Amino acid sequence: MTVTEQTAPVRQGQPAEERHAAELTFLAAQDPGPRPPGWALTPRAVVTFVCGSDGVELALPRRRAGLPSKLVIAPKFVGERALVERCVVTLAGERGLLLTGEPGTAKSMLSELLAAAVSGTSALTVQGTAGTTEDAFRYGWNYALLLAQGPTPQALVDSPVLAAMRLGRVVRVEEITRCLPEVQDALVSILSDRRISVPELTATEDAVVRAAPGFTVIATANLRDQGVSEMSAALKRRFNFEAVDPIADADAEAALIRSQAVAAVQRAGAAFAVDDAVLDALVTVFRDLRSGRSTEGWDVERPGTVMSTAEAVQVAASLGLAAAYLAGEDVLDLLPGHLLGVVRKDDPADHARLLGYWDGPVRRRAENGSAMWRRLWDLRGSLR
């Protein structure tokens, strides 16, 4: 099949519960242990779903039609297993979970995976922005029905939070600190009282919606971003905070970047053809600039922008697409330009910091005899 042929339409942005439906179904049958009320899997199975089974084949206690007898669960989140376990325990206690950290550390992905494993759906989501209103956390109205019938249960439009309360599901709030403080604080009473009052329906039994077992909230926050709104002390007390840090192990990060980039290029209908040496150079640059210190121990001036794993995946995917679709392009020659596009997003001074990195570690590696770093040093002019 050529890169332009398609056998069937492929949807973008499949949720975790669809991408990993086979594993979720298998784990539900494989671990029949006790589950918190409303949970689709046991807490142990949720951790296994997120972190993987370490290459071990899990076996069903008895044969089930349509399911394999054994299955290896692939890891989906690269990070500490202890972090995932703490997150799962927080959710089992029906307490709010707040995932914090720098952009690009897979907080949203982790929240999606947890919601899919606990509730069977990650679709109940509020995207926090400066324009998010309190209705996104409470309820709205179908104004055609409201005008025709007045305030009735049929005219009520559930927010994702209210829907999660009715169903006993996990609701995700992305970028909660981008919401205005008065909007954020709509969650205070919800997390405390586990109910939402609808005063317009005071004459009916629907005037108060009480959360079904299993309801809880997973929120994410990029606390380093500009334009965030500080959370109130009252709201902070309703959440357990968990920091999601950048990937510590270089080999694990390189493997993740490669696998994600390969998947992105394959979704575009092409084969991934970027040498591992080029990917290693990419990962090295990102980790050096992120930490402020090279792998050799040389000091590096850190740019103001976040050199995240997610950004590295995008660069690796772009290199893969160039190799597939732009005949004759040497992808190593394209690396400096893509790095410059990442670095100078926020602070113009970061351009000079990248040049400083080229004049430091890149030059010294070239002088030590590395042909690849020599080529990168020769490309310094493309950074101007």
pLDDT in tens, 247-279: 999 999 999 999 999 999 998 899 999 999 999
Q: Among 32-46, 49-63, 225-239, which is the least confidently predicted range?
A: 225-239
- pLDDT at residue 5 above 60? no
Residue 203: predicted pLDDT: 66
> If DSSP codes are grouped into helix, strand and coil, which group holds residue 57?
strand
Using DSSP's 3-state secondary structure scheme, residue 141 falls into strand
Distance CA 16, CA 305 (A): 29
| Cα atoms found within 13 Å of the Cα of residue 119, Cβ hemisphere only | 30
| Distance in angstroms (rounded) separating the CA atoms of residues 380 and 305 | 20
Q: What is the mean pLDDT of residues 118-129?
A: 96
Mean pLDDT of 339-354: 90
Radius of gyration from C-alpha coordinates of the chain: 24
- Of the pLDDT bands very low, low, confident and very high (cuts 50, 70, 90), residue 9 is low
CA 232, CA 245: separation in Å to the nearest integer?
A: 23
73-87 pLDDT tens trace: 999 999 999 999 999
Task: Name the pTM for this structure.
Answer: 0.89
For 353-372, the pLDDT digits (tens) are 999 999 999 999 999 989 99
Band (pLDDT 50/70/90 cuts) for residue 123 is very high
Q: Which of 206, 24, 238, 22 has its CA nearest to residue 112?
A: 24
What confidence tier does 34 reach under pLDDT thresholds 50, 70, 90? very high
Q: For residue 4, is pLDDT > 50?
A: no
Q: Is residue 239 over pLDDT 90?
A: yes
In the chain, % of residues over pLDDT 90: 81
What's the whole-number average pLDDT of the chain? 92
* pLDDT score of 224 more than 80: no
